Structure 1
């Protein structure tokens, strides 16, 4: 019985484990499953990572969106093992999982060893601070639900604190009029999708918190949002017309854009740029870039690139080991016809999971593996309930089209629904959508505690 081990329960890893379980672990030949499938993740629950900016802004309750890995494993025939990948022995075909501790530091699970025939590494990415002084210590990343929840609680506390403190003039720069200075200010470093989406969601959050009486600040003038981007425009990975349209929408929402400003230092209460500018920041979010987790550079000699991603061939096999595959943000996969690799996007992880499901059918039948081809269907950026903007490409419309407004918002929301459908099927996805709609009709639009 072939043993598949998938490390990482993100969008791609969980979809792959679910579909492998349905196709090979639940089906039996002479009473024996066609394959054994094991999913490994350091956390017990899954949430779609592109939603974390909504969790941080409070517009989404993570506990209503989380999926328990153990339950998914039970429903789809695979096994779940909680733990963090710490080592790989390619000769013996086994991985080592670190100890799992509870909130009090007591051991829940000891260090363990899992054996595999085929290993898939899909552990995603982590925040890249680029060695900026003070950034890891004084800014918040949005890699996990815990980090997003921490930011949300600190934002509510900052709003409540600002209302009740003495109304003394606050000036961040000499010559600035106190009347124009916000009572609290959030600095978001990085004008990519995460930074842009968070800035729009925070504007909505400030309005809702005021409406529910958690503070009496003016949500537009007393709560400042500054988006700092090192490049000449926000959303540098997308087309310029998408970037321009998004910038106009953000400015209408009262978000201050600082482009062409490289952050040189993050300190308590402020952000300094390389040009000498100082930005007052009661809260700082770092969304300036990603890199692969450090453990990948320690996996028994597997080659990595400068971002720490595992270098893979177009079959998604690592360059020196045919039994180890990688997908998603942690994989540096060639993109024929392009100077760069396949971009670290949710749609890429989804396509790679679907590809590996087909490829592993060839593997079990001792047939040659196909090569992965990435299809870019465009990009969408959510601006909360205000709007959305993006471009559709390729097979979607046969060309390239800028979209915004309600249609773009609908398309953006559909991406998450397609992820749910991949995990549960379309029937359960429809029921899940209806259930969440009903729940939202009885709850405030922003989590208030």
Structure 2
């Protein structure tokens, strides 16, 4: 079965999920247009980890070889005390003797975004388009932007992140009808914040670890505070870093008011330059696992590559309505750990694009049927990924006697095969794009 020949899709959001959706739709021969609110695409964050479960998809799309060149395979995560004492380790390597032998990839997030953006034809993406309304007819859907321009298609995909305008518009309509679940009215939950950065190219003679073919993430924990620092060697002789932990003074941004997009963004209302300085000062006494001071890495980071990130999380119950459907952070915001957030968004996209080839017509009833099937297939795996990411992030971040004891037991005494299973680095199900030739599995050669 194939999709209706005139099928046209509007994607809102030019981040990783929106770009991946566009790339997959191109391969499926489906017309689409991406609308991005920002006037200039600039991805937040500095590094990204991509889970092994999506590598077959990347192979099918012809992206894997280039992505491998710009990344390092994730070898593991080593947890250290502020003074450099090893507290435990999680092995992230897959068993190459199995047919599921892909490795997780660690790379520069801006590099990945630029790479994916180059795959989207220029005429299929328009920036500076802030969506403020969605209207539907029995056969089509139209989005209206703040500049009064409109775009019409058969369905809208909200790929616009944790504070999704599409979700807010959809939820407002459901609230007016009195059918939005109470759980979906509650704000995003977060207990942690962090400042992330990526250094300029460093001297590999000073930091020999930069010459390693794989990436071993080092996590340094403070002794008398909840602040921790993550350090990740990247391609291009750069290091990504993350400083953060719990912040009890943060005020939730999404207060359940879904009447409009509002002016609140994912950077937080309390974000100001001094915040980064204050957070980074907390790690000044930390011992750098690669020599020198951790402040050397922070000071070697251009200001434009420093940003504040709130580690929100929430599993929404409502992923679609009418001709509108959500993907990625817009419907399941996952705490970043082992690349689960980005990877689950990519799996959402693959699942939906596969189902578009099962779509007999563009009638709302047929769209509802595949959207419900999409939710049934993706909601539980996304929840499992969210739960495991949160639990392991807490295991690494939390401090105090009980946290140290739990970390010591899990990291020192849990068998490697079980840690891999819990973190998802061994996964039995490798999703694929059904309308494309199977992955070559060149990694086994």
Higher relative contact order (CA 8 A, sep 6+): 2
Indicate whether the TM-score tops 0.5: no
TM-score (norm 2): 0.39
